Structure 1
Amino acid sequence: MAAAMDQPVRLAKTILRIEALATAGWTVLAAGCVLAAALLLPTSAAVPVCLVLAAGAITPVWRFHRIVPPASSTLPVDGGAQSELNLIVRQISSALGVPTPSGVELSPDCDAWLEPRVGGPVLVIGTPFLWWLRVSELRGLLAPVIAGLEAAHDPAVVRARRVVRRLDVAEHHGCAPWPRGMVAQVAELCRGRAEGMERLIAAQASQRARIVEPAGRVYAHEQVGLVAAGWDRLLTRLARPAWEAGYAPDSLNAALVSALVELGERDRVGVGLADRLSERPACDLLDEPGAMDRAVSAVVPLVYAEPVERRPLGWERYTAVVAEPALRRAAAAAPDHPLIAKTRDLLQLPTPTGVGGGGHEAGDGELPAGLRAVLQCGLVDLGHAQFALDWLDGVILRDRAGLTVPVDELVHALVDSADFSSLRDWLSYASRL
């Protein structure tokens, strides 16, 4: 396999030459300025000017090589080297004939990759995959990633990747006194070669990994898009409102599993779902999946939202602590509109007074949101429904028979055609339960 690494290594060396030429060009320019100052200025003035110019030449080079790209937010695998997950990683590495990662860590991202560290590259696994994939699928998914360890230990590739990461940081944050335009140009030259290098490495790793769980790899790739979509929906509809309220819901990965199972059953994409779920989930390879889920869930808002600590929140308290207070605030601040006023009258609700109490005109999109909040809170206050949690749709209402209240249909009928007959019919139905 050493011959297969020739092309990626050549591109890596090209990146290093570009960096060396850019540094040399800057050094020659600075040396020319120092020489000109020494020749054109009096000795008393030339010495301090030359020192300043020399410092200006050395400082950005020194600062550039001191750049440490930010590390991903990860957690080490519980159980350390003796965990079953680490054992499987070592088995895959042995089967592929590549070095073993220096460690295995977990991330809330829907991805798996090798991250460089001082002691060698570590394997980072996204927990959404770990919780949803079966063991054989996880092995198939990780095989091409682990196969990339050969490249991750090549000195030229390691140095080239480090240069590209530093250039990304320097381009974004600056590296004075280097002009940003110069940094951007060098970064673009290196980035193009780096993309080609990574494509070659990925293709070679994929080819090499074919011997490990070929069927599991196919099944895993079928699930990747589903996992990413489910994770995004869970974070958007349930986690983000909690983060904005100062809470961090725990067991997000277990919630993802519930959401994907529900999606499979609801949208008829779960052919063979029961058989698949009967297989061992990959999260069982952890010593304490529940504890790890809670630990990762605490990290999720630091990755996907502003880095502020939030209070842990169990799902059983979600509606009472997050959803209902937000809906009641929205209902109290609903715009002054005839549809909302008539809805309040029909539900026998008082018009709120005080801050945000129905004292403004409805803006675009504000009427449906305000009407929805008024309707939901009103139905709960009448005793016809209660707040409930749906893993796919977020906070919903369930009637006294346990069925989902068709809030969307009721709101659409009101907003689109000012039709109150659907709401009256539903209230009549609810009163008979």
Structure 2
Amino acid sequence: MSGMGVEAGAQAARSRALAVLRIRSRALAVALLPAAAAVVLLVGGATGHLNGEGWHVTRWIVSVVALLALLAAAGIALVVARARPAMSPTVGLTEQSAPDLYRMVRDLADRLDVPAPSAIALTPDCDSWLEDRTHRAHGPPRPPESQDETSGVAGGRGFRNLRRALGFGRAGGRAGSPALAGAGPYRQSPHRPSGAPVLVIGSPFLWWMRVGELRAVLAPVVAGTGPSAHPDIAAARRFVRGLDAAVAVTSAPTRGPVTRMVLACVGWVARLLLRSCRGHAGEMERGVAAAAAERAQAVDYGLRIVAQEQVGLAYAGWDRLLTRVALPAWRMGRWPSRLDAGVVAALTELSRRDRLAEGFASRLGERPACDLLEEPGAVDEAASLLAARLFHGGPPEAGSDWAPVDWSEYPDEVVDRKWRTDAARLHRVLDALGMNRSSGPAAVGTEGPTLSRVIEHLTGTGTGTGTGTGTGTEAGTGRDDAPVTQDDLDTHDTHDAQDTLNTHDSHRVVDDDAMYGGEDDDGGGVANERSAALAAGLSAELAREEAAAPTARAASPAGSAGQGGPDTALLDDGMLPLFPLQPPRTGRELLTDHVTAMVCCAATDTAGASPGLDWLDGPSLLINGERSADLAPRVLRLVENGDPTPLRDWLLHLGIRPEKPVRLV
């Protein structure tokens, strides 16, 4: 370890922190300047040096201005002090639920000669960081005997509360103060309450990484507690976080013009101070990171290079698992309860398929980092529920419409239900478009939803009365692949179809012409007329179902025994999901998914196929125990070009009978 490098980074961070504190001091000086002038005038009048009518009027004016300035400063300080800084939603880990993990982190802090983090929490993401949660809004309620000290700025200790709100106080001492007394350069005094930050660890790391790899990855993160314990850096961070929280408070919608005007003034001052110290705060954090990285080189430096490869691999596997596997389940009202364990399965499957990843599977014989937890299953379940809430906006607790699902139940509970739900929606839209049942020779005497009905509609060989269901209709319009509008749909002669369309149109929430009229295949739309009409109906039907879905409940989930539940009390349901995984699906994607689901239902009901789970691609169709990978291009050919030949050949080869009705939900 280079002591000079650590010292240089720490000194750079401290100099930037002092620059931030100077901005804070100047703001306080500006607030106190009118009061100082008023004191001078009052003392001058009392001693007989500033007498006369002019000085008397000046004293009154300056005193009023000083009083208003002090009230404004006290109000701004009160908003900054009471504003709740942003806190990442995490799953808290108590020391009883992860004693080995706490022991490893403390041993790592001792080797780095820095304070140990005050607590450990998990986040459903592939990242790790330190988070300051010393604000009283983030901790347990204060004892009753100490509440009078922070009751406000109007009491007998108002000026001390004002200084504390602006960041002054014991934490703002200098390097020679008793707060720095201790064995190491960053040790805190045992007489001062611990203000060490919380160590937030990405939950996928615990399941994919080995114990040694996790220790090597966490070394530079834990080393950051050293600079964080410096009083100047801590005071500067507290000041910046308070300003940021105050800006968030003033930006929130409020009632009453007076309240909005007051908060607008407070927000203007807070933004002005933030702009003034933004550059210094950024350079301070860079200095802290540089000092932490330099200090961490003394611990497992060689292993850290190898562990960084696992960080990138875990991120790729986690992203693939969320978008391909978890997202379909979330849309079905089910949430996989073992997402972190699924990362291991997904990356193991990747190592089996990709020769470049062959060496990663050999690591699985070593001790995984999740063994440091007492109840890995309970922690994984809590992290999985939090991931569903953050990335999909699901309810905060399990219920009848939001139930957990195990990986062994995923094919039947998610894949099969998804296929049949999509197939049922597809046939409802066909009914709304006036598409009759299959009319081919093989369909005589059959009733119910069939795959042939879908193929006939997309190829224009059906006998339905709806637009785009016959070649004569297409030729008679005189348009070249123009999408069907709602006016075209209203011209049906059948009264039943007309009633259905009127009901469908009364709930319509999207404009089909605006969504599909100007799009082609390159833009994500559907150029084929019949496909465009069907895609528009599916989009409207899906949007109506999502609008009618029950809203997320505000109750917090109960934590599992021995470990805390997700910290979701600070989440606003209106802001969820915080991190959407995918943009809204286009009409072509929706139609392709629904036609694929109909084909899979036909294969399951008539050819003995079964639903399956592919760890890298999500829901899959298993034929004779093997995953079918050649279905997607054939469905796309049918959807985009109206050519059913490749799909019909595939169905004939596998013995799938499209004229047979399928079972829907």
The TM-score range, normalised by the shorter chain, is 0.7 to 0.9
Q: Match for 1:12 among 10, 17, 26? A: 17
Cα pair distance change 1:332/1:228, threshold 3 Å: same
Distance in 2 separating the partners of 1:347 and 1:321: 25
Deviations 1:348-367 (A, max 9, x none): 999999898x9954344243
Q: Give the distance between the partners of 2:640 and 2:330, measured in 1 at CA.
A: 33
Distance in 1, matches of 2:132 and 2:295, equals 21
Q: Which amino acid aligns with 2:649?
A: D
Give the Cα separation in 1 of the matches to 2:341 and 2:291: 35
Match of 1:315 in 2: 407
| Structure 1 position 382 matched with structure 2 position 606 | yes
Contact 2:219/2:299 (8 A) holds in 1:
yes
The alignment-based identity, stated in percent, is 38
**1:144 corresponds to which letter in structure 2?**
P
Residues 297, 39 of structure 1: CA spacing in aligned structure 2 closer, same or farther, 3 A cutoff?
farther
| 2:218 is equivalent to residue 142 of structure 1 | yes
Shift of 1:373: 2.5
Q: Does the 8 Å CA contact 2:455/2:644 hold for their aligned counterparts?
A: no
Q: 1:248 to 1:23 in 2, by over 3 A?
A: farther
Aligned-partner SS, 2:626: coil
Q: Greater helix share, 1 or 2?
A: 1
Deviations for 1:266-322, whole angstroms, at most 9, x for unmatched residues? 233313123222222211222222222122222222333436224222223334334
What's the counterpart of residue 22 of structure 1? 27
Distance 1:376 1:25 in 2: 72
- SS of residue matched to 2:265: coil
Return the offset for 1:235: 1.8
Structure 2: gaps of 5 or more residues? 42-55, 135-193, 252-262, 399-403, 441-449, 465-496, 505-529, 537-586, 657-665
Instruction: Give yes or no for the alignment of 1:156 onto 2:232.
Output: yes
User: What pairs up with 1:205-354 in 2 under 5 angstroms?
Assistant: 205-306=292-393, 308-311=395-398, 312-334=404-426, 344-345=451-452
The SS at the match of 1:272 is helix
Q: Give the whole-Å Cα distance in 2 for the aligned partners of 1:266 and 1:39.
A: 87
What CA distance in whole angstroms lies between the structure 2 residues aligned with 1:32 and 1:179?
Answer: 24
Letter of the 2:234 partner, please give it.
Answer: V
Contact in 2 for aligned 1:247/1:310 (Cα 8 Å): no
Deviations 1:398-423 (A, max 9, x none): 11343335321221332344443332
The residue aligned with 1:75 is 91
Match of 1:426 in 2: 650
State how far apart, in whole Å, the 1-side matches of 2:34 and 2:635 are: 69
Give the secondary-structure state (helix, strand or coil) at the position aligned to 1:211. coil
1:188 maps to 275
* Superposed CA offset, 1:245-274 (max 9, x none): 433320110001111111222233313123
Is 1:66 the counterpart of 2:82 in the alignment?
Answer: yes
Instruction: Provide Cα deviations, 1:190-222, integer angstroms capped at 9, x if missing partner.
Output: 232222111111112111111211222011111
Q: In the alignment, is residue 169 of structure 1 matched against residue 169 of structure 2?
A: no
Please, which moves more after superposition, 269-278 or 91-100? 269-278
1:385-404, aligned counterparts within 5 Å? 385-404=609-628
Aligned counterparts of 1:59 and 1:388: Cα–Cα separation in 2 = 61
Q: Which residue number corresponds to residue 362 of structure 1?
A: 535
1:108 aligns with 2:124: yes
How far apart are the structure 1 equivalents of 2:225 and 2:90? 19
Checking the alignment, whether the CA contact within 8 Å between 1:376 and 1:407 is kept in structure 2 is no
Q: What is the Cα-based RMSD across aligned positions, in Å? A: 3.8
**CA distance, structure 1, for counterparts of residue 109 and residue 66 of structure 2:** 55
| Secondary structure, aligned partner of 1:80 | coil
Count of paired positions? 425
Residue 362 of structure 1 aligns with an amino acid whose one-letter code is A
18 and 102 in structure 1: CA distance in 2 versus 1, 3 angstrom threshold: same
Separation in 2 of the partners of 1:298 and 1:367?
A: 30
Secondary structure (helix, strand or coil) at the match of 1:124 reads strand
Question: In the TM superposition, what whole-angstrom CA distance separates every residue of 1:140-160 from its partner, at most 9, and x where no partner exists?
Answer: 101111111111111111121
Pairing 1:373–2:378 present: no
Change (3 A) 1:267 1:416: farther
The worse-fitting range, judged by mean Cα deviation, of 71-80 and 11-20 is: 71-80
Normalising by structure 2, we get a TM-score of 0.57
Once residues 214 and 185 of structure 1 are traced to their aligned partners in structure 2, the CA distance between those partners, rounded to angstroms, is 42
The CA deviation at 1:23 is 4.3
| Alpha-carbon distance, 1:181 to partner | 4.3
1:202 aligns with 2:289: yes
Matches of 2:98 and 2:377, distance apart in 1: 18
TM-score, normalised with respect to structure 1: 0.84
Amino acid at match of 2:652: S
Q: CA deviation at 1:50?
A: 9.0
In 2, the alpha carbon distance for the partners of 1:332 and 1:30 equals 74
Task: Say if 2:34 and 2:66, in contact at 8 Å, map to a contact too.
Answer: no
Matched, 1:131 2:207: yes
Distance 2:233 2:281 in 1: 9
- Offset at residue 333 of structure 1 (A): 3.0
1:247–1:53 CA distance, 2 compared to 1 (3 A): farther
- Aligned to 1:104, the other structure's residue is in SS state strand
Structure 1 residue identity aligned to 2:425: A
Partner amino acid, structure 1, of 2:120: V
Amino acid at match of 2:104: I
Alpha-carbon distance in structure 1 between the residues aligned to 2:34 and 2:267: 17
Aligned mates of 1:275, 1:401 — CA distance in 2: 27
Consecutive aligned runs of 4 or more in structure 1 exceeding 6 Å deviation? 29-33, 49-53, 340-343, 346-356
Instruction: Give the counterpart letter for 2:80 in structure 1.
Output: F
Shift of the 234–25 alpha-carbon distance from structure 1 to 2, 3 Å rule, reads farther
Select the residue among 396, 406, 415 that pairs with 2:630: 406
Cα pair 1:251 1:293 within 8 Å, conserved: yes
Instruction: Give structure 1 stretches of 5+ with no counterpart.
Output: none
Q: In structure 2, do the counterparts of structure 1 residues 299 and 31 end up closer, same or farther at CA, with 3 Å as the change threshold?
A: farther
Task: Name the stretch that deviates more: 206-215 or 184-193.
Answer: 184-193
Over 3 Å counting, the alpha-carbon distance change for 1:271 and 1:317 in structure 2 is: closer
Residue pair 2:35, 2:67 contacting (<8 A) in 1 also: no
Give the 3 Å change call, closer, same or farther, for CA 244–70 of structure 1 in structure 2.
farther
- Partner SS, residue 358 of structure 2: coil
Secondary structure of the residue aligned to 1:70 is coil
- The answer on whether the counterparts of 2:119 and 2:199 sit within 8 Å (CA) in structure 1 is yes
Moved more, 114-123 or 21-30: 21-30
Q: Which entry has the higher C-alpha Rg, 1 or 2?
A: 2
Tell me which amino acid in the other structure corresponds to 2:360. Answer: L
CA–CA distance in structure 2, aligned partners of residues 236 and 167 of structure 1: 36
Indicate if the aligned counterparts of 2:351 and 2:361 stay in contact, CA closer than 8 A: no
Q: Deviation of residue 136 (structure 1)? A: 1.6
Amino acid in the other structure paired with 2:107: Q
Write out per-residue CA displacement over residues 93-137 of structure 1, whole angstroms, 9 at most, x where no aligned residue.
Answer: 121111222222222221111222334222221111111111221
